[in-house]
Chains A and B, each alone.
Chain A
Amino acid sequence: MDRARTTVPRRFAVAAAAVGFLLALQAHVPAQPAQTPLNLYGRGATGAHGVVAAAKPEASRVGVEILTMGGNAVDAAVATGFALGVLEPNASGIGGGGFMVVKLASMQEAVVIDFRPTAPSAARPDMYALDERGRAVGNASVEGGLASAVPGEVKGLLYALDRYGSKKLTRAQVLQPAIDWAERGVPVTVNLAQIIKDNFGKLSKFEHGLAIYAKDGFPPEIGDTIVNRDLANTLRLIQARGADAIYAGDIAAKIVAENRKRGGILTLADLAGYEVKVRAPLTGSYRGHTIITAPPPAGGTHVLQLLNILEHADLAAMGEQSTATAHLWAEACKLVFADRAKYSADPDFVTVPYAGLASKAYAKALADQIKPDAVMKNPAPGDPSKYESGSTTHFSVMDRDGNMVAVTKTINMFFASGVVVPGTGIIMGDDMDDFDLKPGSVNSIQPGKRMLSSMSPTLVLDPQGRPFMALGSPGATRIIPTLAQVISNVIDRGMPIQAAISAPRLYQGRTGNLSMEGRYSINAYNGLVALGHTVTVNPDYDAVFGGVHAVLFDHAAKLLHGGADPRRDGQAAGF
């Protein structure tokens, strides 16, 4: 018998039947597997030479590529930053700003580059009509032209490159990977697909966004790619002309025209007058480790304040996820957020007692208020003045020479104001919402003022003063306890950086419910409820608790370990 003659048609018939069956099922089977169960593998990375940890694997690889080309950690950070503006367009970009903490091995002191957006010159404390809940009528502080401040991203990143870059690579080389991704197309992940769907209404209000972020009028599906040629062309102009490409000339005119068309108040003079501010970092300690973080208007003061309070407890002995540990975190968070609301703002406009807020003595006074068996109902802010002694995506880069960079940057809400400047690919930020919209607070709106932020890019030195960790997170006010928890997980519990990032988190504001991820211990939950806490159980891995991206230097092994957050699309890369 000729086996081939009989079996091949059978195989074809079986295959045909299978194809037919699959096609019949086509309408009932998702095109791409969803990201469940959650992908926990491959988030971290190890390298002997350098590691970049960012919110997108492609962005981390951009940073590593720059390091392999001979760039230093700042070159890599700037390239990663521009690439993230393309690869994670919902989170940061040219229309926003942020904070960068840099400590090169050659520097005695770290430096903080503040490229936070500023209120336009025509901004006023009462510029928003407020509803009965204190929110801007018509969502004007988060959507449309009036939501945008003067962006700082391009000036900030290029300042860092010019001042602290290796000078071995050109601006054109550092920006090229971002241009390549804008032209190649950004992969639509489970996370990005959902973010676009969630913000589709906002993008639909201002039609230019839909031209980029919709496919045939609908949100793109998982597995699609988003090409943004306009943004690629804008980045090319930055390659050629530097920051002037954005803050003057045609692009500036387009930004102002679109902003004003959508009800905004930006002017060409606002853009031309934007200045990067270089600030001294806030330095403190936690159990012998040096904490170097971003001062106001960033949120590092309160990360340090929270750690200072927790230092008064033996967290290691209290146990991981125990009732006592969770209670302490919750109560400490209440005190910290009470102070933040009262004192923190742009230090160029108000006197922020940040040295007092971050002092050990003040923290002791706050720690003494925490009772192990009672829940504070309405904590009042303290008085840090007497302790004064005369001081939204995040990525981290470290290399084997001990150069450390931590950058947190944002356009504020996902897809920001929803306004895309036609022909440029730029999404304008909605950072104005971070001001207190009511007049009379330290963080009320004033022309040229920078809105308060929780962004807290942070560097940690080990007890020998050697580079140990670079970390930070997006997540609004959750940033502060989230970073403190990750630092504590490493220092108090000896967790590897990826485990410290993945561990379940909790969050407590000044008032309101205590929120915790669903993986938190049921015994702790029961204990907290018995103590009188009102506890909200969030999903097991909830992006609301931030997206920490960190690098840790293991000096004994001479290896750098990158950790990235599974709550979002984080993935580190190393070499």
Chain B
Amino acid sequence: MKTRPVIAALAMLALAGLAAAQTSALKAPVASKPAFLTTVGQSADIEMVKLLLDRSAVPHKDNPQAKAADLAASGAKTLVVVLGGSTKGLGAAGISADAEIERARALLAEARKLGMTIIGVHVGGEARRGQLSDRFIQAAVPACQYLIVVADGDKDGFITKLAGGAIPLDKVDRMSRAVEPLQKAFK
């Protein structure tokens, strides 16, 4: 049967492919529990990331409008920031895009000062890109030590370029698959 070796080769290649797909950009966990969750851009994606952290068994507190002063009181060792903007979210929060960027910069600086690990998560896909979202992504990504991105949101390589090879970045094809890299990121 000449097809058997071919099928075997196919299966091996498929397995190799899957293995490659599941390879993490992280060689070891970078973050400690518990986490503190906030947004950079006030998008509703924070609700999905809450769920991802729950599924990853990462205890967390959240505040979409957290201020720098809130971090020390939270006792968290890791700051998870949800990347991407929402006009509706900003409106509901009563905050301008400029003020949101200022809030994020102060928060990220405080997290670095407190020695927290910063993880950036972009789960909104292509819809959470564009002029408004990109401003928030640009402001937050350089401060991150690890990035998890739903691939659709980085079709143009914008986030990859911002990470610049220096910040480990993992892409997943569906939001629900972000659980695995999150689990691997935490000790």
A residues at B contact (CB < 8 Å): 5, 8-9, 12-13, 15-17, 19-31, 34, 36, 133, 190, 194, 197-201, 204, 215-219, 221, 539
Contacts and interface: CB of A to CB of B under 8 A. Distances in A.
Contacts of B55: 217
A49 to B, nearest CB: 38
A48 B9 CA distance: 58
22 contacts: A8-B2, A17-B13, A23-B14, A23-B17, A23-B18, A23-B20, A24-B18, A26-B18, A27-B151, A28-B171, A28-B173, A29-B173, A30-B125, A30-B126, A30-B173, A31-B173, A34-B126, A34-B152, A201-B47, A216-B176, A218-B51, A221-B174
- Which 9 A-B pairs rank lowest in CB-CB distance, beginning with the nearest? A23-B17, A20-B13, A201-B47, A24-B20, A24-B17, A16-B10, A30-B152, A12-B6, A27-B21
A20 B6 contact: no
A230 B171 CA distance: 37
Contacts of A16: 6, 9-10, 13-14
A176 to B, nearest CB: 34
A19 B10 contact: yes
A289 to B, nearest CB: 36
B132 to A, nearest CB: 9
Most B-side CB within 10 Å, residue of A5, A25, A190: A25
Interface string B152-187: 100100000000000000011111110000000000
B124 interface: yes
Interface of B: 2-3, 5-6, 9-10, 13-14, 16-18, 20-22, 44-48, 51, 55, 86, 88, 94, 124-127, 130, 151-152, 155, 171-177
Contacts of A22: 17
A18 to B, nearest CB: 9
Contacts of B44: 197-201
Contact of B94 (A15, A133, A190): A133
Contacts of A23: 13-14, 17-18, 20-21
B48 A19 contact: no
B21 A9 contact: no
B10 A26 contact: no
A408 B152 CA distance: 34
Contacts of A198: 44, 86, 88
Nearest to B132: A539
Contacts of A29: 151, 173
Given A27-B21, A27-B173, A12 B9 contact: yes
A19 B14 contact: yes
Contacts of B172: 27
Given A16-B6, A194-B127, A27 B47 contact: no
A138 to B, nearest CB: 13
Nearest to B94: A133
A435 to B, nearest CB: 19
Contacts of A12: 3, 6, 9-10
B47 A200 contact: yes
B8 to A, nearest CB: 10
Given A36-B126, A194-B127, A204-B47, A19 B171 contact: no
A393 to B, nearest CB: 19
Nearest to A33: B152
Given A16-B6, A539-B130, 12 more contacts: A9-B5, A12-B6, A19-B14, A23-B17, A26-B21, A29-B173, A30-B126, A31-B173, A190-B127, A215-B176, A218-B51, A221-B174
A34 B45 CA distance: 18
A22 B127 CA distance: 24
Contacts of B45: 197
A194 B88 CA distance: 13
A216 B55 CA distance: 11
A217 B16 CA distance: 30
Contact of B10 (A15, A31, A194, A204): A15
Given A198-B88, A200-B48, A27 B10 contact: no
A197 B48 contact: yes
B47 A28 contact: no
A377 B43 CA distance: 32
A40 B165 CA distance: 38
Contacts of B22: 27
Nearest to B181: A27
A26 B125 CA distance: 16
Contacts of A218: 48, 51, 175-176
Given A190-B127, A198-B88, A25 B152 contact: no
B151 A219 contact: no
A24 B21 contact: yes
A200 to B, nearest CB: 5
B14 A26 contact: no
Contacts of B152: 30, 34
Nearest to A30: B152
Contact of B51 (A15, A30, A217): A217
Contact of A19 (B13, B125, B130, B173): B13
A221 B177 CA distance: 12
Contacts of B46: 201
A19 B46 CA distance: 35
B177 A27 contact: yes
Contacts of A216: 176
Contacts of B5: 9
Nearest to A203: B47
Contacts of B94: 133
A34 B124 CA distance: 12
A13 B7 CA distance: 9
Contacts of A26: 17-18, 21, 173
B134 to A, nearest CB: 13
